[in-house]
Amino acid sequence: MKKLILKMTTAAAMLVAMSNVSNAQNNLGADCGCPTVSSRPVVNLGLRADVNGNLTDVNTILYCDTIYTIGAAGNVAQKIYVSSGKTLTVNPGTVVKTYDTNVNSAASSLVVTRGGKINAAGSPTCGIVFTSILDNMDGTHPIGNRGEWGGVVVMGNAQVNRIAQTGAPTSTLDGEMFMEGLPVGDARSIFGGGATYNNNDNSGVLKYVSIRFAGVTIAANVELNGLSLGAVGSGTTIENIEIISNDDDGIEFWGGTVNVKYVNLMFVNDDGYDIDLNYDGKMQFLFALKAPAAIASGGESGFEWDGDEGTSTFYNNFSQASTGWRSHPVVYNATIIGNGSNTAATGTGTTTGNPFGISFKSDAEGEIYNSIFTGFRGGVNMQAGSDSSKINYDLGLIKIGCNHFVGCTFPASAANVQLSGADSVKFFTTDNNVNTNSIADFDYSFAITSSATNPVTDNIDVVPSSNLSTVCTPPSDGFFTPANFRGAFEAGKKPWLNKWAFTSIVNVTPGLAPCPTDFTGDGVTNTSDFLIFVAQFNLSCN
């Protein structure tokens, strides 16, 4: 009987694997009445815009019975703008595809300007996908094919610590900035509220949204990310977001106060979460998995945490001229997995030249608790110098508590040198951080190639069978969820990445996979699944 059950289970597993690849997300939106993706007509979103790319309707609505494109065949690039006073509504189950331009400076993008709004509120079974025109959405578009379009940009009127930009053209005030990667001199590229900033600004909703194969380099040190957020206010809702195979940072926060929750970054080539210019929001339940080094050699850090992005003079917050105005996000419950790249040291006891779980840079502040970092030679590194983040750490402006660093040769360093003495006691004893070679029930090793079908030769499992305890309790402030454990996922609970996530079609993380009896991949177990299984009953698995 046990052998028969094993054969039945094995057959089911084989069918799940085949059905997930063959069906994948062709049934995206079935639960909310959307037709199969393959049957949807294709319409250029540019037809709803003027010659400059501005959407013309006060409220442009996208429906899931159509695939919308940005750009056109022949690699014709286009930027679509949601202007001030306008709204773009994207219904659950909708797919937007963007043409591969192959010309980075003309990268196609979706841009929500200051005063504009995007309302893209998907659901767990009716997600919204922004992806490349080359992505057939069956999981076989190689994860190494990054940078095929410019990503999604959202800008608002919240705070940003930037003084007026000089040179030609001179088109910004204190507290404003041109978005990196967008045309300088175009007023639609400006974010930040200046002297009348509004930290409660509302740029709309992004929920259950997947952004894939985006991020491009426009010029040296000028890039577009998967999701670029410029001075976005706390009135905006961003949760259940994933960024897949991005060629620059997964998400970059340029100032602002927006709070984010339930974020999945997979196979990003640069930093996972990049924080700049006085971002002052809250973040909880974050996951990041770097691409293997053979696919994305960039590696880079899980968090790149900057106070002012190299600006020597902070924007004067009218009351903080003497101390500046620095990024101070608060983060709970992240699981960040690096790819082990760039592990060579330049000297004994140093981490120079290596990516880090967290890289605190110029004048950074902030707090991170209850998180797990692995796959990095360095866990935390703090910059030294006159605008030192290490000084801020000593002053208590950087707080790092109740985190696990797994397999990190140098779990905590400053100026690339491992903490010692009183600093080490504070970090590992007072602040309850742990350095260990492994965690029971967690498997962080993985392997995947960029061949045509993205075969996974070694998958990971990041959902524990028992929680790592913590004494760092998230505040009860209406945003943070009570979570007395370390890492992004809770033992014994249904993972928040389930069904809608990209991992359900490229099974890198089996602990996050959809219901194992859903052979058709449509999000439910019903007669169709039963008939598939019955047809394979007593299948020989030898």
- Per-residue pLDDT reduced to its tens digit, 450-466: 666 777 888 888 888 89
Q: How would residue 98 be classed by pLDDT, with cut points 50, 70 and 90?
A: very high
* Model confidence pLDDT, tens digit, residues 252-288: 999 999 999 999 999 988 889 999 888 999 999 999 9
Strand order, beta sheet including 251-254: 79-82, 109-112, 152-155, 227-230, 251-254, 273-276, 303-305, 356-360, 378-382, 410-414, 417-418
Whether the per-residue pLDDT at 540 is higher than 50: the answer is: no
CB 361 within 8 A of CB 393: no
Residue type (1 letter), 52:
N
Q: What is the pLDDT of residue 218?
A: 75
* Range scoring the smallest mean pLDDT among 74-83, 347-356, 429-438: 347-356
* Model confidence pLDDT, tens digit, residues 324-341: 567 899 999 999 999 876
Residue 2 DSSP label = H
Average pLDDT of the chain, as a whole number = 83
Q: How confident is the model over 504-516, as a mean pLDDT?
A: 64
Tokens 């997947």 — which residue?
A: 210
Whether the per-residue pLDDT at 440 is higher than 60: the answer is: yes
Q: What is the pLDDT of residue 502?
A: 86
Q: Based on the number of CB atoms within 10 Å of its own CB, is 466 exposed (0-12), middle (13-18) or buried (19 or more)?
A: exposed
* Model confidence pLDDT, tens digit, residues 153-173: 999 999 998 877 666 556 788
Q: How would residue 353 be classed by pLDDT, with cut points 50, 70 and 90?
A: low
Q: Minimal CA–CA distance to 314: which of 156, 155, 164?
A: 164
Whether the per-residue pLDDT at 23 is higher than 60: the answer is: no
Q: How would residue 307 be classed by pLDDT, with cut points 50, 70 and 90?
A: confident
Q: Which helix (H) or strand (E) holds 11?
A: helix 2-23
Whether the per-residue pLDDT at 312 is higher than 50: the answer is: no
Q: Which helix (H) or strand (E) holds 333?
A: strand 330-337
Q: What is the pLDDT of residue 157?
A: 97
Q: Minimal CA–CA distance to 326: which of 345, 343, 310?
A: 310
Q: What is the pLDDT of residue 146?
A: 86
Q: How would residue 520 be classed by pLDDT, with cut points 50, 70 and 90?
A: low
Q: What is the dihedral of CA 142, 143, 145, 150, to 10 degrees?
A: 140
* Model confidence pLDDT, tens digit, residues 117-151: 999 999 988 999 999 999 988 888 888 888 899 99
Q: What is the pLDDT of residue 317?
A: 40
* Model confidence pLDDT, tens digit, residues 168-190: 556 788 889 999 889 888 999 99
Q: What is the pLDDT of residue 3?
A: 33
Q: Where are the alpha helices (DSSP H) in 288-420?
A: 389-394
Q: What is the pLDDT of residue 461?
A: 86
Q: What is the pLDDT of residue 164?
A: 78
Q: How confident is the model over 5-29, as a mean pLDDT?
A: 49
Q: What is the pLDDT of residue 306?
A: 87
- Residue 278's region, left for phi above 0, alpha for psi from -120 to 50, else beta, is left
* Model confidence pLDDT, tens digit, residues 366-418: 999 999 999 988 999 998 866 688 988 999 999 999 999 999 988 999 988 89
Q: What is the pLDDT of residue 507?
A: 76
Q: Which long-range contacts (CB under 8 A, 24 or more apart) does 324-327 make?
A: 324/161, 324/363, 325/159, 325/161, 325/278, 326/161, 326/278, 326/363, 326/364, 326/365, 326/392, 326/397, 327/253, 327/275, 327/276, 327/277, 327/278, 327/279, 327/280, 327/364, 327/365, 327/366
pTM, rounded to two decimals: 0.88
